[in-house]
Amino acid sequence: MSDLSAFSLEGRRILVTGANTGIGQGIAISIGKAGGAVLGVGRSAMDETAAQLAAVGASFAPITCDLSDHQAATAMLDAAWTGHGPIDGIVNNAGIIRRGDAIDFSKEDWDDVMDVNLKSLFFLTQAFARKVMAGGRTGRVVNIASMLSFQGGIRVASYTASKHGVLGITRLLACEWAARGINVNAIAPGYIVSNNTEVLRNDPDRNAAILGRIPAGRWGEADDIGDAAVFLLAPASKYMHGAVVPVDGGWLAR
């Protein structure tokens, strides 16, 4: 195997949740550029993602699913495997955020975030692993964590709890599945241009404070995360299990 092929996803089929916009879209496009076929999952239309993948000659199949329902998520995985063929890797990117002071935070805003960001992530990954193990195959799981997997943040109680949970689940699954042919790792994005960070970027004071701490001096772009995901899905990372890779412009280093 050449050094170049170790970073190729040629012949691999990857499922990406939340592929309609932002980080998920960037991940899908990076996978396509690396030669992978993308199954994109989202609640809304993925026409823009489809067009960008078509432009680089990549295979893309859109799948509609509401990931707030973990049973719907697992049924979707089964249907995708049957309809499109065996899946080689999944990227658990889909996530939502609710903002509010902890003293006033509602049960609804807690449950909504935990259902998508942690509960469905776990059971979707479980469904994938069952298929992989039953077929005697190997597989890759890339979970999208956060800077708030390490830090507390403010006014995002359920999001912070969910992202701490994503990091813990990543490590637990790696411990259980590393010897069974499944690599489970995570990426912790820093401050990336996306729908989830729009409110921060539109606040002059918060935007300036954030940029002032980032050594790279800029917000990250979706392809910064996408290229890291390709590495964790490719043969090059075959001995990585339970790792979390910060892609943060140096945020944690400061």
Predicted pLDDT at 188: 98
Q: How far is CA 136 from CA 30, 130, 164, 181, in A?
A: 28, 10, 31, 9
In a domain, 254, yes or no: no
In a domain, 251, yes or no: no
The 10s digit of each residue's pLDDT in 193-228 is 987 788 889 999 999 999 999 999 999 999 999 999
**Number of domains within the chain:** 1
Predicted pLDDT at 5: 85
Helices and strands, counts by H and E, the chain: 9, 7
Neighbour tally for 15: CB within 10 Å: 26
- Take residue 176 and report the two structure tokens written for it: 């259980």
Which of 159, 191, 219, 231 is catalytic? The answer is 159
H/E stretch holding 39 reads strand 37-42
* φ/ψ (deg, to 5) at 192: -115, 145
Could you tell me the CATH number of the domain that includes residue 213? 3.40.50.720
In a domain, 48, yes or no: yes
In the residue annotation, 191 being an active-site residue is answered as no
Residue carrying structure tokens 């005697």: 136
In a domain, 160, yes or no: yes
Domain boundaries, position 77: 5-245
In a domain, 253, yes or no: no
In a domain, 250, yes or no: no
In a domain, 237, yes or no: yes
Predicted pLDDT at 1: 43
Three-class SS string for 161-224? HHHHHHHHHHHHHHHHHHHHCEEEEEEEECCECCHHHHHHHCCHHHHHHHHHHCCCCCCECHHH
The 10s digit of each residue's pLDDT in 49-65 is 999 999 999 999 999 99
Distance CA 100, CA 228 (A): 31
pLDDT per residue rounded down to tens, the chain (254 residues): 455 689 999 999 999 999 999 999 999 999 999 999 999 999 999 999 999 999 999 999 999 999 999 999 999 999 999 999 999 999 999 999 999 999 999 999 999 999 999 999 999 999 999 999 999 999 999 999 999 999 999 999 999 999 999 999 999 999 999 999 999 999 999 999 987 788 889 999 999 999 999 999 999 999 999 999 999 999 999 999 999 999 999 999 99
Q: What is the pTM of this model?
A: 0.95
Residues in the chain: 254
In a domain, 21, yes or no: yes
3-class secondary-structure state, position 37: strand
CA 207 to chain centre: 24
